[in-house]
């Protein structure tokens, strides 16, 4: 798994669409590949790929191209396309991780609210059709600005490195 593919995964739908279809398999298998990294390599790989939390069945990463500061992606390690494909343990752990990360972001970043969602299928906006993942997007009063409307640019007030340090401190 190269750093390039990790960046591809986190890009928004418009940017990903510019890459050739031949890369689809590598991108769809991103979570599975990160899930196999273990031992001494795991710590550095997690840092390189912005993995803030690992569970037995899930992985949580910072979105490299976030809609807002603190935008996380929570995904099952297994390659599954639909909610009904998840077994009970995967679904439960996914919800527990969302609950814990919501608490952690509220406490460390003073988030006032959250958008949590899943895009299932290409037509619904899924950037990785075939591998579901939840988006956790922290919100604050007044956080919407004119930049995304005018030029598809998001203003993020914190670097991904600083955010990683903040959220990866406490493991679930």
The residues that are catalytic are 133
CB 63 within 8 A of CB 74: no
Annotate 127-148 with three-state secondary structure: CCCCCCCEEEEEECCCCCCCHH
How far apart CA 29 and CA 121 sit, in angstroms, is 16
Q: Do the Cβ atoms of 61 and 73 come closer than 8 Å?
A: yes
CB 70 within 8 A of CB 109: yes
Between CA 32 and CA 29 the distance in angstroms is 5
């Amino acid at each position: 798994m190269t750093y390039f593919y990790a960046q591809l995964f986190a890009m928004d739908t418009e940017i990903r669409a510019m890459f050739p279809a031949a890369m689809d398999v590598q991108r769809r298998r991103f979570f599975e590949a990160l899930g196999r990294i273990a031992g001494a390599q795991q710590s550095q790989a997690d840092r390189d790929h912005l993995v803030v939390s690992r569970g037995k069945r899930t992985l949580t990463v910072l979105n490299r191209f976030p809609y807002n500061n603190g935008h996380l992606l929570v995904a099952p390690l297994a390659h599954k396309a639909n909610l009904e494909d998840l077994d009970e343990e995967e679904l439960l752990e996914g919800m527990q991780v969302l609950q814990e990360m919501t608490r952690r972001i509220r406490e460390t970043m003073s988030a006032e609210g959250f958008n949590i969602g899943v895009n299932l299928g290409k037509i619904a906006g899924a950037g990785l059709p075939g591998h579901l993942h939840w988006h956790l997007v922290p919100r604050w009063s007044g956080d919407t600005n004119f930049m995304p409307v005018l030029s598809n640019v998001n203003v993020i007030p914190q670097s991904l490195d600083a955010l990683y340090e903040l959220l990866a401190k406490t493991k679930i």
